[in-house]
Amino acid sequence: MHQVFSDLLPPPGQTLRLGGDERHYLGRALRARPGERVRVADGLGGGVVAVLRGFEGDDALLDVESRLDDRAEPWALHPALCPPRGDALDQALEAAVQLGVESLVLLRSQRTLANFDGGALQSERLQRRLQEACRQCERSRVPALLGPLDLDQHLAQPGDGLRLFASERGGLSLSRALGEAGPALSLRTVVGPEGGFSGEELQAAAAQGWTPVTLGQRPLRVPVAVTALFAGLRTLQAQRHPEEIT
């Protein structure tokens, strides 16, 4: 079932008029036909199933059938990453969204090469990329996007739950770092730039109480590191608390 977004979600039995980019996506990109069922999400976790009645000028008319809300993930994942240059950032964001992160923070570290003043890191463009990733995996809630923040500033912020710092210089396994994590857990994580963290930054993370974790013996590109980290966490979650995964 395809997904589009709308700020307003009428109750079942009413009609939704969908215009703008979402109407264009439904009619031109998807070439949807009357009678097709569509997910309509509000980006905040709410959604409905609607039937496309047809197109009227610049609007698509959809008859709302039922509500459809995202189920909250038992482990809330809040990654922060130092953005790479080029398409690698888009790949990392897409992987994070599909693996169910709740928020994303962009960080500046000593070796971050991305240009924060360039078009690739404009907030509006990144929000579109997050929304597109949510469409692909039929997710109603678009993760919050925060930053950019300096790494030191982020490390010093207080917060509940575990704080994991992915280090190419070694650390605990994910399983060991999680210990006896319960079914409801908040996890803050940091993924570094492809040039790695400096020794000074690693010391600062340890001083602020962050736990270093390893993702293997070899340096990883940022999209691969993000995928390995959050796929590993979701796998551990499913193994330890299978009753929470349906």
| CATH number of domain containing 43 | 2.40.240.20
Residue 15 burial (10 A CB sphere; 0-12, 13-18, 19+)? exposed
Q: Do 19 and 133 have their domain in common?
A: no
Place of tokens 């890191």: 121
In terms of DSSP bridges, do strands 37-41 and 2-5 run parallel, antiparallel, or are they unpaired?
parallel
User: Using one digit for the tens of pLDDT, what is the confidence trace for 109-152?
Assistant: 999 988 888 887 888 999 999 999 999 999 999 999 998 999 99
In terms of DSSP bridges, do strands 103-108 and 144-150 run parallel, antiparallel, or are they unpaired?
parallel
What is the C-alpha separation between 172 and 153, in angstroms, rounded?
A: 24
Residue 235, domain extent = 75-244
What is the C-alpha separation between 231 and 239, in angstroms, rounded?
A: 12
Residue 210 has pLDDT above 60, yes or no: yes
Last residue of a domain, one of 67, 102, 122: 67
Q: Do 57 and 87 have their domain in common?
A: no
CATH number for 115: 3.40.1280.10
What is the C-alpha separation between 167 and 147, in angstroms, rounded?
A: 21
Identify the bridge partners of residue 43 per DSSP, sorted by sequence position.
141
Nearest-10 Cα torsion for 211, 217, 222, 228: -80
For the segment 41-61, the average pLDDT, to the nearest whole number, is: 95
Last residue of a domain, one of 67, 98, 121: 67
Chain centroid to CA 199: 28
Q: Do 89 and 32 have their domain in common?
A: no
In this structure, the number of other CB atoms found within 10 A of the CB of residue 20 comes to 10
Q: Do 47 and 27 have their domain in common?
A: yes
Count of structural domains, the chain: 2
**Can you read off the two tokens belonging to residue 72?**
């909250």
Closest to 50 measured CA to CA, from 3, 103, 89: 3
Q: Do 120 and 233 have their domain in common?
A: yes
Q: How many residues does the chain have?
A: 246
Identify the band that residue 244 occupies on the pLDDT scale cut at 50, 70 and 90: low
Whole-model pTM? 0.87
Q: Which pLDDT belongs to residue 168? A: 85
Measured CA distances, 173 to 120, 130, 160 (Å):
33, 29, 21
